[in-house]
A and B are shown apart, each in its own frame.
Chain A
Amino acid sequence: MAVLVIADHDNESLFDATHKTVTAAAAFGGDIDVLVAGKDASGVAEAAAKIDGVRKVLHADGEPYEKQLAEAMEALVVPLMDGYDAVFAPATTMGKNCAPRIAAKLDVMQLSDISDVIDADTFERPIYAGNAMMTVKSSDAKKVVTVRGASFDAAGEGGSASVETIDAPAGPFKSAFVEERIVQSDRPELTSAKRIVSGGRALGSKEDFEKYITPLADKLGAGIGASRAAVDAGYAPNDYQVGQTGKIVAPELYIAIGISGAIQHLAGMKDSKIIVAINKDEEAPIFQVADYGLVADLFNAVPELTDAL
């Protein structure tokens, strides 16, 4: 058996979600090759070659792969699948965007956002915002899988696989990249952060979100998250959203501040190791999952906590 893992990266660094996907692929079994499709991303290909358990890295280079356009990724991966029993992609926005196109072209039903590999045909995945866990058996000959990062540990980096350059279809494709607004920050990325401070609607404004959440996160070296309500209101950017339809996180420490704990939010953070909730309503559902709950006004409690650290 052989599995192709699609790497997620920004042409400069390889994202941790790739290492987690390799762990899931190893549980599936067989030889693991990693596809690095990008533009001038040979550094990423070399990084992928270091992941433990990888047989070889396939490196495809070209303009349309700089942003891993879905139409291009489909054209690249589908022919490669003659040599593989499965393709695993991280359930990041890259993987979610590309994998189903590959599945449709292979005429297989994708297994989305898996949380466990039971055997080569059987996988576990959350449904209904994680309120139920479904185990399904696939009857398709080839498997197309996206992997929930929060459910798998990252594979180590002691390997030394070979890197093979492969041809990549050059297009033209029917979509074109225009621009990107990516905020560069030194803050840990949410899905791999060890600690997360998350703010909700109660923050009331972008200014107060920054004034109260950022210093605490700085003190803890934490990533910053937000509820949908805080993002919708413009207090925090969209990529901060934690939840069923945002990012799924499982840090060592998650501090929810002024977040009520709707099921859609819990879906994204309830696998965190330690959950702290600060909310002035003692009945807030967030307290049902919190290890430590503080019933308090955040505008007093958060500065006090920041100072105490």
Chain B
Amino acid sequence: MKVLVPVKRVIDYNVKVRVKSDESGVDLANVKMSMNPFDEISVEEAVRLKEKGVVEEVVVVSIGPQQAQETLRTALAMGADRGILVKTDETVEPLAVAKILQKVVGEENPDLVILGKQAIDDDSNQTGQMLGALLDWPQGTFASEVVVEDGKITVTREIDGGLQTLALETPAIITTDLRLNEPRYASLPNIMKAKKKPIDEKAPGDYGVDTAARLSVVKVTEPPEREAGEKVEDVAELVSKLKTKGAI
């Protein structure tokens, strides 16, 4: 079995973003960037499937600027076998990402594509499902458990009311949720080894995909600021304040 894992380079989850004063976007200059945390979970899951002997090859792909190569290297250091960088300096929306991935799938013929449920920059939560539709593949989104056995994939999903289990035919799409696994840290020897693993460089044009944006940004603003309130001395004061406010 072969697995394709799309990984996105995003602002690190610990960074508090700042909105630019001209309201054109958020300030990304000199900000720490990392692999989207959900994509680390995807890479980890693919590598574990490989370690179990279910999967032979793990290919990682990123659509983004030259620096997205570092994100691919991180994935290779975690245990992926090779990378594909689809290089572009433009913002590529989930629909266009899904179209590029559809073409990559056409060339690579994976049995499984594991994506993150959500990129923590645009918070879109779309790409995996879109790819599923474009390929006419089934999907198991928000996965907290994945079992691959005899060509059948069983996915347990985190849904609003609890957990749901689906059986998927292969080939299939999975999107990962937080509880699926705990991604490993790459060891130094593996980081060194990753430097020698191949990364293919492509451009969106190589796949004939039009990446023109469908959504134009009118403005990006600060959310309404919430004022810190007051500290109360004890439980009695808390109760009396809440009563005055009519909250209890």
Tally of chain A residues near chain B (CB < 8 A): 91
A288-B228 CB under 8 A given contacts A93-B158, A100-B126:
yes
The A-B contact count (CB < 8 A) is: 259
Which segment of B1-9, B52-60, B132-140, B187-195 sits at the interface?
A: B132-140
| Contact B223 A133, beta carbon cutoff 8 Å | yes
| Contact B230 A293, beta carbon cutoff 8 Å | yes
Q: Roughly how many angstroms separate A98 CA and B93 CA in the complex, as a whole number?
A: 18
Tally of chain B residues near chain A (CB < 8 A): 81
Q: Roughly how many angstroms separate A79 CA and B154 CA in the complex, as a whole number?
A: 29
Residue among A130, A228, A276 with max Cβ neighbours from chain B (10 Å): A276
A132-B222 CB under 8 A given contacts A175-B138, A228-B178, A239-B160:
yes
Q: Roughly how many angstroms separate A101 CA and B140 CA in the complex, as a whole number?
A: 13
A-B pairs with beta carbons under 8 Å apart, 21 shown = A67-B164, A70-B139, A97-B142, A98-B129, A104-B95, A104-B98, A110-B126, A118-B218, A131-B19, A132-B221, A132-B222, A133-B221, A133-B222, A140-B214, A182-B161, A238-B179, A245-B38, A273-B247, A292-B241, A305-B235, A308-B239
Other than the given A97-B142, A174-B172, 4 more pairs (CB < 8 A) read: A101-B133, A131-B16, A138-B214, A178-B167
Binding site for A on B (CB under 8 A): 11, 13, 16-17, 19, 26, 38, 93-95, 98, 117-118, 120-134, 136-142, 144, 154, 157-169, 172, 177-179, 213-223, 226, 228-232, 234-236, 238-239, 241-242, 245, 247-248
Binding site for B on A (CB under 8 A): 10, 67, 69-71, 74, 92-94, 96-105, 107-113, 118, 122, 125-140, 173-183, 191, 220, 228, 231-232, 237-239, 244-245, 247, 252-253, 263-264, 270, 273-276, 282, 287-296, 301, 304-305, 308-309
